[in-house]
Amino acid sequence: MKNSSLFILVFSLIFLIGCSAIKDLISGGEVPDVSSYDTDSAKDQVLSSVTASVSYGYASSENGAAIQGNNLESESLSQIDSLKEKLLTDGSVKINPAEAYLIDYLRPKQNPDTLFLANLYFETGKKGIPITFQYQVKKDDQIFFEFENQKSRKIKKIEIIEGGESRFNHTNLKKKKIIKGSLTIQSDNMMTINVLKNGFFKSVVKMKIRKLSKPQSYSIEMVKDTLIETRIVIEEVVDTLFAKVEDKKYSLSPRLDITHTSRIDFPIEVKKVENLIGWGYWLGLNREDLEKYKTLAEADEESEPLISFIKSELNINQENIYLPQSENPDVYFNLRKLVTDTPSLNTQSNYGYFISEPSSQAQKAKIYLANKSKLYEHNISLLVVAVNLEHSQKEIEKEFYTEIPSLKLTLIP
């Protein structure tokens, strides 16, 4: 019997030690033991402390968000203060339509608060010496007043003056009597209150002065401002170029001069010109025609007369330019066009401008000349100008116009 009892005691001890070890392995740390507390309130206290420690992390994150929100709110308040100052200084302010909610914070109150100018007790003077109070008021302010004689038998006079005009006058206010009233200010002015007491003794007056300002009128409208911005951009520029490709002199001998030729033919040719759009020529059949051409050149040293004529045909020049027409009865002249290029409006027999076709060949025309005179030599002059386009990229300053919409809040006087 004793051996059995000893065995049970040893087994129980081993079982308790094993359970304790397993408990430590499972929990991985300390666990509050609520079984040792006798009352429910004590248990609740321990459980509350555990809950508080678990909730601490969540509360900390919320506090961080609140702090950030406060910073944003502070920035908004600073913006509102700045806009209010501008509105009061300039009389108007413009707001981004995306921030239209700011209007609610900026526009004047339509139900203004009543402002106490005075709420006090004061001693009167004596022997007719008045006590005076002054207040700055504005047009359409409503003034509410109340006076009560607290002490003496009577007060001689209570008067309210706006500027230089008496707006209220009450005499002989008796003891413990109250007078009330109101008035509307007629213009921006100084309001003066005079209280007059005769006799040798002072009195005490209770005075209340309230002011209700007229609501500030305002307007809100959508306006658009034009922003002009100058930028440097790269644009493709097309220039029209004029190049003299031929400037030749020919001589036609008289028919009786068998040592020299009295007949000649030659082409008008424009070679290797990229983006060719046209060509022009002038042919002088005698010395006098060449002198006339030179006179035109001297009148405008910056431009060749043939080039000036071509520019007028292309409407680059406003005024029409004409070249000397050449006629010589002693010279046979014939121009045979070899291409289908179109002549301009003012093309003549001895000069003109032709608009080139895209696939036009280099030889444009052929000129045939013959001296009919048996005795006289004749000098011939030929000028040929090619016209082409040159494409290039240039940096230029360009103005860009952008319309920026905004809400305009304006105070109306």
Instruction: Say if CB 170 and CB 179 are below 8 A apart.
Output: yes
Domain check: are 159 and 293 in the same one?
Answer: no
Alpha-carbon gap, residue 191 to 213, rounded angstroms: 14
Domain check: are 271 and 349 in the same one?
Answer: yes
Q: Is the pTM of this model over 0.85?
A: no
Give me the tens of pLDDT residue by residue for the chain, a chain 413 residues long: 445 555 555 555 555 554 454 344 334 343 334 333 344 343 333 333 333 333 333 333 333 333 334 444 666 788 888 888 888 888 899 998 988 888 888 888 777 778 999 999 999 988 889 999 999 999 989 999 999 999 888 999 999 999 889 999 999 999 999 999 999 999 999 999 999 999 888 999 999 999 988 888 889 999 999 989 999 999 888 999 999 999 999 999 998 888 888 999 999 999 888 999 999 999 999 888 889 999 998 888 778 999 999 999 998 877 788 899 888 999 999 999 999 999 999 999 999 999 998 877 999 999 999 999 998 999 999 999 999 999 988 888 989 999 999 999 998 87
Domain check: are 152 and 268 in the same one?
Answer: no
Domain check: are 143 and 175 in the same one?
Answer: yes
Instruction: Tell me the residue type at 47.
Output: L
Its domain, for residue 241, covers 235-395
Dihedral, CA atoms, 159, 161, 167, 168, nearest 10 degrees?
Answer: -10
Domain check: are 240 and 369 in the same one?
Answer: yes
The label of the residue with tokens 């509350």 reads 48
Residue 63, domain member (yes or no): no
Per-residue buried b or exposed e for 64-83, using 16+ beta carbons within 10 Å of the residue's own CB:
eeeeeeeeeeeeeeeeeeeb
Domain check: are 101 and 204 in the same one?
Answer: no
User: What is the token pair recorded at 393?
Assistant: 């990229």
Domain check: are 264 and 367 in the same one?
Answer: yes
Alpha-carbon gap, residue 325 to 313, rounded angstroms: 17
Residue 8, domain member (yes or no): no
Domain check: are 164 and 290 in the same one?
Answer: no
User: What is the token pair recorded at 345?
Assistant: 């409006």
Domain check: are 192 and 265 in the same one?
Answer: no
Bridge partner residues of 245 (DSSP): none
Residue 276, domain member (yes or no): yes
Domain check: are 281 and 137 in the same one?
Answer: no
Domain check: are 181 and 283 in the same one?
Answer: no
Number of domains in the chain: 3
CATH of the domain at 129: 2.60.120.680
